[in-house]
A and B are shown apart, each in its own frame.
Chain A
Amino acid sequence: MDDLDLKLIKLTQDGIDLVPDPFKEIALELAIPETEVIDRIEALVERGAIRRFGASIGHRVLGIVANAMCVWNVHDDRVEEVGAVMAGFGEVSHCYERMRCPEWDYNLYAMIHAHTREECERTAHDISRATGISDYIILFSEKEFKKTGVRI
Chain B
Amino acid sequence: MTMTQELELDDTDRQLINLIQLDFPLDLRPFRTLGDQIGISEAEVIDHLKRLTDIGVIRRIGPILNTKGLGGASTLVAMRVPEDAIDRVVSRINDFDEVSHNYLRPGAYNIWFTVSASSKERLHKMISEIKAFGYPFLELPVTRLFKIGVKFEV
Q: Contact residues of A with B, CB < 8 Å?
A: 1, 9, 12-16, 18-23, 34-35, 38, 41-42, 44, 47-65, 67, 69, 79-80, 83-84, 86-87, 92-99, 101, 103-104, 109, 111, 113, 137, 139-152
Residues B65 and A55 in contact, CB atoms below 8 Å apart: no
Whether A51 lies near B64 (C-beta < 8 A) is: yes
* Complex-state Cα separation, A80 to B68, whole angstroms: 21
Chain A nearest Cβ from B103, distance in angstroms: 4
Asked whether B104 lies within 8 Å of A143 as measured between CB atoms, the reply is yes
- Most chain A beta-carbon contacts within 10 A, residue among B99, B103, B106: B103
Q: Chain B residues near A151 (CB, 8 Å)?
A: 65, 97, 100, 116
With contacts A61-B7, A63-B3, A98-B142 known, is A15 near B60, CB below 8 A?
yes
Query: Does the CB pair A83–B17 fall under 8 Å?
Result: no
CB distance B142 to A97 under 8 Å? yes
Min C-beta distance of B55 to chain A, whole Å? 7
Q: In the bound complex, what is the Cα–Cα distance between A41 and B62 (angstroms)? A: 10
- Give the total number of A-B pairs whose CB atoms are below 8 A apart: 232
Contact of B21 with A55 in the complex, beta carbons under 8 Å: yes
Contact A15 B154 (CB under 8 A): no
**A69 to chain B: closest CB distance in Å?**
7
List the A side residues contacting B38 at CB < 8 Å: none
- Interface residue from B7, B28, B64 paired with A53 (Cβ < 8 Å): B64
User: Interface majority SS on A: helix, strand, loop or mixed?
Assistant: mixed
A12, A19, A65, A83: the one contacting B1 at CB < 8 Å is A65
Q: Is the CB of B70 within 8 A of A1?
A: yes
Query: Are B106 and A92 in contact, with the CB atoms below 8 A?
Result: no
Residue pair B69, A47 in contact (C-beta under 8 Å): yes
Q: Does B138 contact A (CB under 8 A)?
A: yes
Chain A residues within an 8 Å CB radius of B20:
54-55
Among B50, B102, B105, B148, contact of A140 (Cβ-Cβ < 8 Å): B105
Contacts of A80 in B (CB 8 A): 144
Extra 20 A-B pairs, beta carbons < 8 Å, given A56-B62, A56-B64, A94-B147: A1-B70, A1-B71, A9-B65, A20-B46, A44-B63, A47-B69, A51-B66, A54-B20, A57-B152, A93-B147, A96-B143, A97-B145, A98-B76, A98-B142, A99-B139, A140-B105, A142-B106, A146-B101, A150-B67, A152-B70
B124 CB to nearest chain A CB (Å): 15
Interface contact A150-B116, CB-CB below 8 Å = yes
With contact pairs A87-B147, A92-B147, A93-B147 given, residues A12 and B63 touching in the complex (Cβ less than 8 Å): yes
